[in-house]
Amino acid sequence: MTPHQSHPSPAARDTDRQKVLIVLHQETSTPGRVGQALVRRGFDLDIRRPRFGDRLPDTMAGHAGAVVFGGPQSANDTDAYLRRETDWFDVPLREAAPCLGICLGAQMLARNLGAAVAPHHGNEVEVGYYPIEPTEAGRRFMPWPEKVYQWHREGFDLPSGAELLARGGTYPNQAFRVGPAAFGIQFHPELTLAMMYRWTTKGAPRMSLPGAQQRRDHFAGRSIFDAAVKTWLNDFLDRWIGTAEAPASAATIAAE
């Protein structure tokens, strides 16, 4: 919003807040199960791809929340659009608006808050299903699945002032929360079966990296663990954003 633009009226703001900002990093990427769940909750998806020139909003007044997804980029890359996107997290953080970073999105959120993003010291990756364990704060917030789907070769340090919600083995920081409504998660609850086929086909070389699971194990893991991940996602969305008709407030989220 420029200094010459007027603020929207309350009625207009209520209508605008039915949108959720979706930030993607590849031309063919989709928001997967997260997008589907948000649409079922009555939200429209405002999909933007900064890599291809889309601008991000100067305020969250027109959106109920934002989800920044993963991608093949590194949060340490020096591309101008990635630097702008990392800096953009100032907007939802300043306004205490619901914001969720997934994988690369979580790493950019962590960098925005001054934390380091780096590969594992032994160059191990997480590609497949891996166990996570909630912290005491995480258990108070909500139930967590036993294993989650991962597709990454970098992780993030816990930002100063953030609350760790879930730990892992190879990459110890798996989920964190900062302020009332900003969350970062290393894993991929958005993954649909079609996405798994696509990722394990186009990204087949990833499965030869140290620590990665083989393709058959990805699909075997999905048959065992996906139902719990889906339940987790729906429970998380209840707490984080609610529905278009009954949005979760920052005060409610903070009280969880």
Q: Would you state the CATH architecture of domain 10-119+154-190+231-255? A: 3-Layer(aba) Sandwich (3.40)
pTM of the model: 0.91
The count of other CB atoms within 10 Å of the CB of residue 40 is 11
Domain segments of the chain as ranges = 10-119+154-190+231-255
Query: C-alpha distances in angstroms, 98 versus 12, 111, 180, 185, 251?
Result: 19, 18, 8, 14, 11
- Rounded Cα distance between 168 and 216, Å, is 22
The answer for residues whose C-beta is within 8 angstroms of residue 204's C-beta and 6 or more apart is 215
And the tokens for 210?
């140290």
- Rounded Cα distance between 62 and 16, Å, is 5
- Rounded Cα distance between 215 and 63, Å, is 38
- Rounded Cα distance between 141 and 157, Å, is 21
Enumerate helices (H) and strands (E) in the chain, giving the number of each.
9, 12
Tens-digit pLDDT profile for the chain (256 aa)?
333 333 343 334 444 448 999 999 999 999 999 999 999 999 999 999 999 999 999 999 999 999 999 999 999 999 999 999 999 999 999 999 999 999 999 999 999 999 999 999 999 999 999 999 999 999 999 999 999 999 999 999 999 999 999 999 999 999 999 999 999 999 999 999 999 999 999 999 999 999 999 999 999 999 999 999 999 999 999 999 999 999 986 545 555 5
Q: Helix or strand or coil: residue 190? A: coil
